[in-house]
Chain A
Amino acid sequence: MFIKILGTGCSKCERLKKNLDIALKELNIDATVENVDDLIEIVSYGVMETPGFVVNDEVKSVGRALSVDEIKGILK
């Protein structure tokens, strides 16, 4: 599973990252997580509100620091 977090280091991005780590550990999923801070790449996903949450190249959420449970719901 390839997961990308699109964002340039705002507080929501940090929180999303933390929650993702917890969710991955709890679900015991092995995933490659990449932080994308290149603006052109972020926009190429159509994301304008950071953070963007991308799983296997599909945008799952924009502009929100998803909770651990929400992330689990998406990944399952």
Chain B
Amino acid sequence: MNILDWLNAQLLKMKWLWVLVELLVERVFKLSIDTRLGGSIHFFIYDTIKIFILLSVMIYVISYIQSYFPPERTKKLLGGIRGVKGNILGSILGVLTPFCSCSSIPIFIGFVSAGLPLGATFSFLISSPMIDLAALMLLVSTFGLRIGVTYVVVGIIVAVVGGVLIQGFKMEEYVESYVLAAKGSDIEVEEKTFKDRMKFSKEQVRDIVERVWPYILIGVGIGAGIHNWIPQSIIERILGRGNPFSVLIATFIGIPIYADIFGTIPIAEALVTKGVGIGTVISFMMGVTTMSLPSLVMLGRVVKPKLLATFIVIVTLGIIAMGYGLNAFTALLI
């Protein structure tokens, strides 16, 4: 085993924690982790602690990076660029810009009223919830670097194509008129100091952990259930590689569910160990995070139904296409 594998196993997969929890379950609870109950308890405790540790450390590091890309700066960066380049940059900035879903509509209005192309704005809006840096780290820790990179590349492709299509359909008239009439102004964002960035990162950790912990517990609970109680054969029949509709099913299960990306990771982990294809699992995760009812309702306040419908159709098709593509791709890769 080389040093990288060892680091990945100990730091990201937290093998040490796995062993500690195994000791706890077997010695203190007197349950073998090979039994269903013992296995579920082990999965639940281990996964909960692991996700909270990784989450806090990673949000801290990532927020530090993100503090260099506030939306005000993004707006300026995007301002001078036209065409597909704008979509690509919009998608990448969507990954880097920190914002909670309660900021997405102010950002939308801010970008559109500043005269940014609608397509680039939508590329930003699609990639931002879909690709999450912290989720990427968790994916890498669980499934390896290749899957992590694929997740980002796939997300950016969907965001770029979605934005280009919306631009091509010339849908500016379907933005609510009060948005176009809004008078935005530029504010100078002060350059943050090292201390400011540390403070910002700490606040982000607190803010996100406070917001997502219930989703994580629910997600880990469902993951533990899938892991130990639902027979592999049933899951394989519905979501396995043999079922040609698996990606469709996963996407449409994911869309109505509203959860944070972190809540979906334990479910994804459990599904993968049950033999579900990576593409299917990623379609499920993207469905959950990109298309939640609350965010669609918010978007519906600033764009007319036709543009909202176009957005939903493009994103759904994108997620499905990517699921099938990834499944085909991983068949070659692994």
Contacts and interface: CB of A to CB of B under 8 A. Distances in A.
Interface in A19-74: 39-40, 42-50, 59, 62-65
Contacts, number: 75
Contacts of A46: 72, 110, 184-187
Contacts of A63: 70, 98, 103
Contact of B72 (A8, A10, A44, A48): A48
Given A46-B184, A47-B187, A50-B103, 19 more contacts: A7-B102, A8-B105, A9-B102, A10-B100, A10-B102, A12-B100, A40-B109, A40-B182, A43-B109, A43-B110, A46-B187, A47-B106, A48-B106, A48-B107, A49-B72, A63-B70, A63-B103, A64-B199, A65-B207
Given A49-B70, A59-B187, A62-B187, A43 B106 contact: yes
Contact of B102 (A8, A40, A64, A65): A8
Contacts of B200: 64
A11 B211 contact: yes
Contact of B109 (A9, A39, A65): A39
Consensus secondary structure, chain A interface? loop
B113 interface: yes
B203 interface: yes
A39 B302 CA distance: 10
Contact of B71 (A8, A9, A48, A64): A48
Interface in B285-302: 302
B3 interface: no
19 contacts: A8-B106, A10-B102, A12-B203, A39-B105, A40-B178, A40-B182, A43-B110, A43-B182, A43-B184, A46-B72, A46-B184, A47-B187, A49-B98, A49-B99, A50-B102, A50-B103, A62-B70, A62-B72, A63-B103
Contacts of B98: 49, 63
Interface in B165-188: 178-179, 182-187
A7, A40, A44 — which one has the most chain B CB atoms within 10 A of its CB? Answer: A40
Nearest to A63: B70
